[in-house]
Amino acid sequence: YYEQIQQTERLKTTGQLAAAVAHEIRNPLTVVKGFLQLYEKDTSFSDETKRHFTLMVDELNTAEQVISQFLSIAKPNKETETETVNVKEVLQSVTDLLHSYGLLHDNKIELNVVEDCYIVANNIEFKQLLINIIKNAIEASKIGDSVIVTASRKGEFVEIKVVDYGHGMSEAEVKSLGTPFYSLKSKGTGLGMMICFNIAEKYKGKIDIQSSQGEGTMISISFPATIS
C-alpha cells in the first residue's frame, strides 16, 4: 500500500513537472510565431522566403497543438467541476463551432437529437471529447461528404453516434486508437483519441468504434444518463 502511494506521488510530480515545462515552452513559441507572422506580410522579403515563413508558422502551430493537448492530460489530479450536462446544448455548440471548420473542407455536420438527454460530467471535458471525435470524422471525409451526429437515450445511457463516410480504418488502426502520438496525419498530434478515452473513463462512459476501410466509421459514445 505504501509502495502504491509513493508511486502515485511520483506520477503526480512527474505530471506537474511535465505540465510546467510544456507551459514554459509555449510562451517563447508564441513570441516567435508573432514575429514570423509579421515577416509573412513584409513586402521586403521574397515570395520564396515568405513561403518559408508560412511553413514555419504551420510547424509552430502543430507544436502549440501538441503542447495544449498534452497540458490537458498532464495534470491528472487537476480538479474539475462535475455538473449536469445538457447533451443537446453541448452538441449544438460543438457543431456550431466546428461548422466553420467543416465548411473549409466542404463537409456538413448534420445534427439529430431525438430527445433531451443529460449526463454527469465536466462540461468543458465533454465538449473536448466531442470536438476531437467530430473533427477526426471531418478530417477523414471527402469533399462534400456529411458527418452525421445523433444523440438519444438508450436505457441507462445516453448514446451519441458520430458517423462519417470517409476513408475508414483497418482493424489494426482501430486497435491503435488512443495510443499516445499514434497518428496517420501529416499534421496530427496523435493525442486526440487518448484524451477522449481518458475523459470517457473518468465519467464511466464508453467509446465503441466500428470502421470499414474505404466506407467510413461509426463512433458510439455512451455515458450514464441522469435526469435534469
Residue numbers at the binding site for Mg ion (CB under 5 A): 136, 192
Distance (Å, whole) CA 191 – CA 74: 12
Give the shortest CB-59-to-ligand ADP separation in angstroms.
Answer: 15
**Exactly one of 37, 150, 183, 210 binds ligand ADP (CB under 6 A); which one?**
183
Contacts of 170 (CB under 8 A, 6+ apart): 211, 213
Distance (Å, whole) CA 197 – CA 202: 9
The strand pairing partners of 16, in sequence order, are none
> Nearer to ligand ADP by C-beta: 128 or 217?
217
C-alpha cell at 120: 454527469
Please tell me whether residue 193 binds ligand ADP under the rule CB under 6 A: yes
3-state secondary structure of 171: helix
Phi, psi of 80 (to 5 degrees): -120, 140
Q: What sign does the dihedral 146-94-150-70 (CA atoms) show?
A: positive
**Exactly one of 19, 140, 148, 200 binds ligand ADP (CB under 6 A); which one?**
140
Give the shortest CB-219-to-ligand ADP separation in angstroms.
Answer: 7
> Nearer to ligand ADP by C-beta: 85 or 219?
219
Please tell me whether residue 164 binds ligand ADP under the rule CB under 6 A: yes
**Exactly one of 17, 38, 103, 184 binds ligand ADP (CB under 6 A); which one?**
184
Binding segment for ligand ADP among 14-22, 86-94, 97-105, 130-138 (CB under 6 A)?
Answer: 130-138
Distance (Å, whole) CA 185 – CA 131: 17
> Nearer to ligand ADP by C-beta: 51 or 185?
185
Give the shortest CB-93-to-ligand ADP separation in angstroms.
Answer: 20
Distance (Å, whole) CA 69 – CA 24: 15
Binding segment for ligand ADP among 14-22, 27-35, 42-50, 161-169 (CB under 6 A)?
Answer: 161-169
Contact 177, 209 (CB under 8 A): yes
Binding site for ligand ADP (CB under 6 A): 132, 136-137, 140, 164, 166-169, 177, 182-185, 188-193, 217
